A and B are shown apart, each in its own frame.
Chain A
Amino acid sequence: MRLFSRKKYTSIKVRKKDLPGGLWIKCPSCQEIVYKHEIESGQGVCPKCAYHFQISWKERLALLTEEGSFEEWDANLESADPLQFTGQVAYTAKLVESRKKSGLKDAIICGKARMGPFTVALGIMDFSFLGGSMGSVVGEKVTRLIERATANKLSVLILSATGGARMYEGMYSLMQMAKTSAALARHANAGLPYISILTHPSTAGVMASYATLGDIIIAEPHALIGFAGPRVIKETTREDIPNGFQRSEFMLKHGLIDLIVNRKDLKETLIRLLGYLSRSTPPAPSNQPIVEVSAPTTS
């Protein structure tokens, strides 16, 4: 006699791919299953716990700027392969794959747009292109954005979403940190405002250059923000990683960022701040205080 008898019924396994068109999403913060449409109409924020999902540059543009006011700059720049980098996968293959997957040419979109009464030079990084990494193209586009802003006396706003420097371009990538910071030195010298907005995640080489050089640094709730990744820190130092380490709230507590702003309040906050930072225009009229949101609880 067999120790275990065969089941007398058939079980139907529901595979992930059988679910209709990804209608549901599990929130990584509260673990609730939420209707995808609800998230999309809610600006990429979990309706249950206010967790901020990553959203595309297009969604960000729509949230922040006046419709039809965006004029893209340097849309024609593409990454080359200066090192002829071949790892397990060649860089050129990665680029082709990433362009197809994201529909983008590289990890940042730059241009000019209107936000309320202000015209700003705006850069939006998109994590879906090679993890928002900074190679020559991102560095060049950010630098041109800042240089044009300096020449035209515009404020600069950059939304970061990045894993850092792009190692496929080796030292060319590292030097983009210096290049973008140099452009910001001139922009700052001209007395012009720069607001850096950190979204999930903002780390490494971009953080150690333009992302931390804002006159104002804003973060979305619960974004991962830091220089070295938590895994690297653990492996190198064997230190205990504190709770909530490298999240927006941690970085606010440790003095890096000026304020944490919920995505739905971001545009209004930016317009108000631009009012204070611009020499000629008075702050936008509004009586509502802008409150910092409390962070979603995390596992």
Chain B
Amino acid sequence: MAHHSLSFEKPILELETKLKELRAFSEAQDIDVSRELSDLERKIVETKRQVFKNLTAWDEVQLARHPQRPYTLDYIGEICRDFVELHGDRHYGDDRAIVGGFAMLDTEAVMIIGTQKGRDVKSNVERNFGMAYPEGYRKALRLMKLAAKFGRPIVVMIDTAGAYPGVGSEERQIAEAIAMNLREAFLLPVPIIVTVIGEGGSGGALGIGVGDRILILEHSYYSVISPEGCAAILWRDRAFASKAAAALKLTSRDLLKAGLVDEIIPEPLGGAHTDPKGMAADLRRRLLYHLRELKQYSLDELLDRRYRKFRAMGVIRAESPSAGELTIKNEE
């Protein structure tokens, strides 16, 4: 675990190593150090609290990209059973950067779709680092329509740096694939719950991101452009990524304040990767809660609310003196 750590995690990991050593020492020497151990444990919690209280936007981006962070298939494995993965867009291929299939979430039969990253070189090649080609987005839409046909709610998990910016993507019309998903998602007559579980990278995230509820795990981000990309354009230097991250207001708290997400799902102290099972249990609870809430609406009402939800996003100023600055926010 210790071989992948972020710089602000170091003091925590050092204390944890110390704790482990002390425990081993006391067992080997049969000396009672329980007081020292509990002191150290308290200190670890305290340090974690301090560190996590003062995270910058850039720190949050690092956490969202943490190589040990649970990915879509990790959550699918934890929160549901009887998952049947379905493949392919029926036109070109099966994009492994987007996974999807039917699954049982408690007593609910749902369609789960999400972007999937790899953990090592081999799986990252297979998953294209979680960056989908057009066929990935077309597979997602096919599965969403399949779910709609059989009245199954859709659960989406987003964790991608963005759609893949390559020659093949352009040749097979990545822009059209994303746009089509956006338009068609407003016509799907089943509840859709979207959760950003890590990186919410621009159009590649939004391409599967239209839904009735937009949830976000605490240490995830969702942004119109990567901090590095923004820094390269506005500061002409990628090294200003941390500044760009702050300017873009991309953290879960910023997004909730802006009314662009509905709910933050808190992560275990130290981040989702320090307690994946606990995180998954909380995610499952919130998904079920929202699913039950959404099922109360008639289909017309559901689609109308979905429309109005996105219709209200944006901040404009009308020039007429009475109007002033108009912030249209989510009505719910």
Question: Does chain A have a CB within 8 A of B118?
Answer: no
- Point out the residue from A78, A167, A171, A186 that lies within 8 Å of B319, measured CB to CB: A78
Question: Does chain B have a CB within 8 A of A118?
Answer: no
Question: Does chain B have a CB within 8 A of A184?
Answer: yes
Chain A interface category by residue count? 35 or more
Question: Does chain B have a CB within 8 A of A123?
Answer: no
* A77 touching B169, Cβ below 8 Å: no
* B170 touching A167, Cβ below 8 Å: no
In the bound complex, residues from chain B placing their C-beta under 8 Å from that of A181 are 179, 182-183, 186
* B316 touching A79, Cβ below 8 Å: yes
* B179 touching A212, Cβ below 8 Å: yes
Most buried by A among B165, B170, B210, B224: B224
- Closest chain A residue to B161, Cβ basis: A236
Question: Does chain A have a CB within 8 A of B299?
Answer: no
A125, chain B: closest CB distance, angstroms: 16
Interface pick from B63-71, B105-113, B152-160, B243-251: B243-251
- Point out the residue from A171, A178, A209, A226 that lies within 8 Å of B170, measured CB to CB: A226
- Point out the residue from B206, B229, B234 that lies within 8 Å of A177, measured CB to CB: B206
* Given A167-B248, A172-B314; A242-B167 close (CB under 8 Å): yes
A148, chain B: closest CB distance, angstroms: 14
* A182 touching B233, Cβ below 8 Å: no
Considering only residues 169-189 of chain B, those with a C-beta below 8 Å from chain A are 169-176, 178-180, 182-187
A174–B319 alpha-carbon span in the complex (Å): 24
* B167 touching A167, Cβ below 8 Å: no
- Point out the residue from B165, B207, B316 that lies within 8 Å of A236, measured CB to CB: B165
* A179 touching B314, Cβ below 8 Å: yes
In the bound complex, residues from chain B placing their C-beta under 8 Å from that of A171 are 222-224, 248-250, 255, 258, 260
Question: Does chain B have a CB within 8 A of A276?
Answer: no
Interface pick from B48-56, B284-292, B305-313: B305-313
Question: Does chain B have a CB within 8 A of A228?
Answer: yes
* B316 touching A80, Cβ below 8 Å: yes
> Given known contacts A87-B234, A178-B210, what 13 new A-B pairs fall within 8 Å (CB)?
A77-B318, A79-B316, A88-B234, A171-B248, A171-B258, A173-B224, A178-B313, A182-B306, A184-B183, A207-B179, A208-B174, A213-B183, A228-B166
